[in-house]
Amino acid sequence: MKKLLAATASLALVAGAAGAEDIKIGVILGFTGPLESITPAMGSGAELAMKEVTDSGKLLGGSTVTSVRGDSTCVDAAAATAAAERLVTTDKVNAIMGADCSGVTGAILANVAVPNGVAMISPSATSPGLSTAEDKDLFFRTAPSDARQGEIVRDILKEKGVSSIAITYTNNDYGKGLAEAIQRNWEEAGGKVTISAAHEDGKADYSAEVGALASAGGDVLVVAGYVDQGGSGVVRAALDTGAFSTFYFPDGMVGEKLNENFGAELNGSYGAYPGTDSPGAAKFQEMAAAAGFDGTSAFAPESYDAAALIMLAMAAANSSKSADLATKVMDVANAPGEQIFPGELAKGLELIAGGTDIDYVGASAVELIGPGESAGNYREIEFKDGKYETVKFR
């Protein structure tokens, strides 16, 4: 009798798992607020992956995956928590792709995801603080921590033979976190930080800020700001007064705008931003163009990868439940196994069903390390003849 019960139970379990379901994945991004210009492409990226899987009909016996959007606002933790609460309790999402900004991501993780046992994969939260957050192994991110960027900055500056740096950062969580990561790594490596001072965005005049930076001195000025905001203003004032002639540009500063604003004045300066030469990036851009959005938009590839990882982990766990899939995310994301690129999700699902191990590479060359965050691939750039060019990948 006992045997029979167990057999029926396991049969039911198998049948249940094999039966087609309607899986929902929450997409929580700042559709309003400071990131509203890049979140549409991020959302589209995630939904592109869901459509690909649904169309393939190969996930958990032909289950469909639909997206339920929520607005994180990027800055308002209470609003983001309420949106996530609604997705989890009312819409009953199986997992969450999000959130975007570090602050709201931490709030959703602590207030909604952990209490309800829902897995989260963020495409863009880079704060080092999230690496050590209490997450019950439910939280992952396809974006690298800024702590990683601190190491990149250290490595590049060391190779250039720099001995002392001055840091200016935009006065928010991103700028402050990044500046601290750079300073810590640099000082551990024996470098000297002469000053680390904040600047406010959106001002016309940065001569006072540059005066303080110049007084402190340093071989290189590290500008942890935004290219279309105060970062460029500080660089302008530093160049005009002759305070600094060599700059290091982290991710927020590298953009076409730099070439336009400064051109040849920056010759000899350098920097790095997330990017990869993996074939996945190009493939994703093609797919995005076909789907009608910009695949080069910031964090759109990471969003596709975050959603893809959730679904591949479901297949590997043979369950759409957060508690099960969360244990498989690292397995599908990392080697060993057969490499899976964007547009090959169906192949990945087949391989998993066939019992073969996979290594999801995706659009952003995903490799999860430590507490489940992207190892981070960076594109090192250098200014020559008035514009920047990629010199190598790290």
Residue closer to another protein, measured from CB, 68 or 198: 198
* Nearest distance from C-beta of residue 201 to another protein, angstroms: 11
Angle at CA of residue 210, ends 208 and 213, nearest 5°: 115
* Nearest distance from C-beta of residue 209 to another protein, angstroms: 5
* Nearest distance from C-beta of residue 117 to another protein, angstroms: 42
Bond prior to 113 in cis (omega within 30° of 0): no
Task: Find tokens 């559709």 and name the residue.
Answer: 31
Residue closer to another protein, measured from CB, 140 or 226: 226
Burial 18-28 (b: 16+ CB within 10 A, else e): eeebebbbbbb
Query: What's the order of all strands across the beta sheet hosting 368-369?
Result: 64-71, 22-29, 95-98, 119-122, 139-144, 373-374, 368-369
* Nearest distance from C-beta of residue 206 to another protein, angstroms: 9
CB 31 within 8 A of CB 40: yes
* Nearest distance from C-beta of residue 213 to another protein, angstroms: 8
Residue closer to another protein, measured from CB, 1 or 204: 204
* Nearest distance from C-beta of residue 310 to another protein, angstroms: 39
Alpha-carbon separation of residue 1 from 9, 13, 248, 260, 339 (angstroms): 12, 18, 72, 78, 46
Residue closer to another protein, measured from CB, 206 or 284: 206
* Nearest distance from C-beta of residue 230 to another protein, angstroms: 11
Alpha-carbon separation of residue 260 from 229, 248, 254, 297, 313 (angstroms): 14, 17, 12, 19, 44
Residue closer to another protein, measured from CB, 21 or 201: 201
Sheet strands (E) in 250-340: 270-274, 338-340
List residues near another protein by CB under 8 A.
171, 195, 197-200, 202-205, 207-212, 214-217, 233, 240-243, 245
* Nearest distance from C-beta of residue 192 to another protein, angstroms: 13
What is the dihedral angle through the alpha carbons of 290, 296, 298, 303, rounded to the nearest 10 degrees? 40
| CA–centroid distance for 130 within its chain | 12
Phi-psi region of 190 (alpha: psi -120 to 50; beta: other; left: phi over 0): left
Residue closer to another protein, measured from CB, 242 or 336: 242
Instruction: State the Cα–Cα distance between residues 319 and 95, nearest whole angstrom.
Output: 12
3-class secondary-structure state, position 247: strand
Residue closer to another protein, measured from CB, 55 or 240: 240
Residue closer to another protein, measured from CB, 242 or 355: 242
Residue closer to another protein, measured from CB, 110 or 197: 197
Length of the chain: 394
* Nearest distance from C-beta of residue 208 to another protein, angstroms: 5
Residue closer to another protein, measured from CB, 89 or 241: 241
* Nearest distance from C-beta of residue 73 to another protein, angstroms: 21
Q: Give 383's strand partners.
A: 388
| DSSP one-letter code for 265 | G
206, amino acid identity: Y
Task: Give the DSSP H/E element, type plus range, for residue 110.
Answer: none
Task: Find tokens 């339920």 and name the residue.
Answer: 68
Answer positive or negative: Cα dihedral of 122, 123, 126, 132. Answer: positive
